[in-house]
Amino acid sequence: MPESRPNNPQAQADDQLIVRYLDGQLDEQAFAALNDRLKADPALRHRFIDLTLQAHYLNALVSEPDLTLVQDELLSHGPARTSSKFSLPTAYRVGLAAAVAAALLLVATLAIVFLPGDDTAPDVAEVPDFTPTMPDITLDTSRVVATITDQAQAEWVSVNGRGALPGRTLLGPNQRLTLARGFAEITTARGAKVLVQSPATIETTGSDNAIRLHSGKLVGRCDTPGSKGFVVHVPGMDVVDLGTVFGVEADAEHGSTVTVMEGSVRAEPAEASPLAFEPVVLKEDQARRVKPENGALETIAMSDVPVLYAQVPHPYVKIVNDAGSTLWLRQNQKDVGDRLGKTAYGKVGQGFGVLELNGQGCVDIGNTLNFASDQAFSIAVWIKPDMRSDDMCVLGRMADHLERGLHGYDLYIKEQHLRFQMKHAFLHDAKKDSLIRVESSEKLKDQTWQHVFITYDGSSRAAGLRMYLNGSEVESNVIDDSLSGNTIHANTTFRVGIRGFVDAERFGKPGLTNKLDAVGGGSPMFGGIGDLVVFDRVIGPEHIQSMHRLSRDAYFAPHEGS
């Protein structure tokens, strides 16, 4: 903490100026004055830092994001909480719609992975006290044509050996590398960037604006003038960038595929088979595949495109929204403990950023993710159940319309088995109940982090529901399969850690405490919940494995004992 401030008129005026700044209430002239004074007056700078920090500490201590306000905000985009001004109590991001499409996911992925590249973050080597990691693979870099510019849990294999490479590794011509694990960003000497997903084998060429993909997947992005014309060589095809974002897969069995997410590319036959097909320009949302049997180019639907999924691991709960960005539940324990009282919510953010629930609370994400029974969706979540209860709701969106019955969906643990249900139940006539209920054959492990993935194809049939545990599909038993045309839409909120058995209309908007009291618990969750992601589509097994592997290795494995 800095020295105590003098309490003279100038100091008081300075404090008021800073408080106004923090409030976003300085006009241009006053702000310019503050800027100049901060430049000239070290004492004022310390006052400024002190007050800025205090404002943030106060926000962390006293902010009590009213869930009803969050809901209102989601629905009406109310001005108070969505202001772009300083407005410290920014409890949650807004704009949830849970509608992330495949292309958006890819673009979001690119944004996540590419943004922190050379232009936006310093090389760690620029920071003092840096001890460089020695390369495990020696590479010829007499003429640099590309650079490995970023890596996530990457393990490489070359003719010289296997191991890690430094964060930045220069690549000369004709260097072949296999990415055995993780992700890597490679930037050509002319600025084109590719994100390579393991397992993949790449090779630099004699060109400073090309790369060869022997097998595996990559996403290319060319948004610098020098990178235009960047070429990815895959078996049977050359993909020439025309200013774009595109995905490429080289698969010996199924052929090479190109998919355009933004802009356009030109697909040309490879040098070895120049007459295999006519060059074609592809635009956004178009995809082509080279048939392995004859080298011809065929059109494929976007839904058949193998999607590259790269998830940057993180310690937060998140919801992917329709803009491809994420909602991050705030991890500060105070945010939850303070605002909701001692009985309403469990702890959040202890350990390593996951929710830790003790059967006395939950987190309410607001009126969102209101899927209908004919809509596809997928839900991924890490859980570490504490099996002290036979019936624990992990998450869901289930409303009790008092006179009408239960509507919604939820994921829960029943006698250690994982269950997912979608239901439109009738209070006074159970025969009319319309529901799907599926249960995993195998039991979940007690006190162990496990990655649960549910996919639903919108078919209104139990067969359209799939359960995955730790990246692999598990056998499931169908308990009910009678979902009819009745909607599972519900006037409620998406909650983590408890079943939403309460009609919001009945209890008005008093906050969750009353609701919890009223329902006597609602199958509360005991244990940990983390890394929640919801998609508005079916995620395929390959991507589920990829997501599982990455989040496990990078995040949950180190905390298995946590």
Partner 1 sequence: MSISHGQIVRVLMRERVRLLAFIQVLVFDSHTAEDVLQDISALAITKSHEINSEQHLLLWLRQSARYKAMNLRSKHQPHLFDSRVLDLIESDWSMHENAGSSEIMQALEKCLGGLSPYARSVIDSRYRDGQTGENLAQAVGRKIGSVYVQLSRIHRNLADCVRTRLAEDQADA
Report 521-560 residues binding partner 1 (CB under 8 A).
554-555, 558-559
DSSP labels for 86-117? --S---S---------HHHHHHHHHHHHHTTS
What minimum distance in Å lies between the beta carbon of 81 and partner 1? 6
According to the binding rule CB under 8 A, does residue 157 interact with partner 1? no
According to the binding rule CB under 8 A, does residue 24 interact with partner 1? yes
CA distances from 463 to 28, 117, 479, 484 (A): 62, 43, 12, 14
Cα 229 to the chain's mean position, in Å? 31
- Pick one of 191, 220, 255, 349: the residue that binds partner 1 (CB under 8 A): 349
> Roughly how many angstroms between the first and final C-alpha of the chain, as a whole number?
33
According to the binding rule CB under 8 A, does residue 314 interact with partner 1? yes
What minimum distance in Å lies between the beta carbon of 14 and partner 1? 9
Closer by beta carbon to partner 1, 8 or else 138 = 8
Alpha-carbon span 327 to 348, nearest angstrom: 16
CA distances from 139 to 150, 160, 309, 413, 455 (A): 17, 8, 29, 51, 43
Q: Which of residues 29-48 bind partner 1 (CB under 8 A)?
A: 31, 35, 38-39, 42, 45-46, 48
According to the binding rule CB under 8 A, does residue 61 interact with partner 1? yes
- Pick one of 8, 29, 126, 225: the residue that binds partner 1 (CB under 8 A): 126
- Pick one of 89, 263, 341, 540: the residue that binds partner 1 (CB under 8 A): 89
Alpha-carbon span 156 to 164, nearest angstrom: 6
E strands present in 159-303 = 161-163, 169-171, 176-188, 193-204, 210-221, 231-234, 237-250, 257-269, 280-283, 287-290, 297-299
According to the binding rule CB under 8 A, does residue 279 interact with partner 1? no
Name the nearest CA neighbour of 414 among 381, 447, 451, 440. 440
According to the binding rule CB under 8 A, does residue 347 interact with partner 1? no
Q: How many residues bind partner 1 (CB under 8 A)?
A: 92
Strand partners, 295: none
Per-residue binding letters, 283-312, with partner 1 (x by CB under 8 A): -----------------------------x
Neighbouring C-alpha atoms within 13 Å toward the C-beta of 270: 20
- Pick one of 29, 119, 159, 301: the residue that binds partner 1 (CB under 8 A): 119
For residue 228, give both structure tokens. Answer: 């235009």
Radius of gyration of the chain (CA): 27
According to the binding rule CB under 8 A, does residue 323 interact with partner 1? no
According to the binding rule CB under 8 A, does residue 170 interact with partner 1? no
What minimum distance in Å lies between the beta carbon of 358 and partner 1? 19
- Pick one of 33, 75, 121, 463: the residue that binds partner 1 (CB under 8 A): 121
Could you tell me where the DSSP H helices lie in 391-511? 504-507
Closer by beta carbon to partner 1, 109 or else 492 = 109
According to the binding rule CB under 8 A, does residue 332 interact with partner 1? yes
- Pick one of 135, 166, 226, 521: the residue that binds partner 1 (CB under 8 A): 166
Q: Which stretch binds partner 1 (CB under 8 A): 117-125, 221-229, 237-245, 502-510?
A: 117-125
Closer by beta carbon to partner 1, 16 or else 174 = 16
Neighbouring C-alpha atoms within 13 Å toward the C-beta of 438: 23
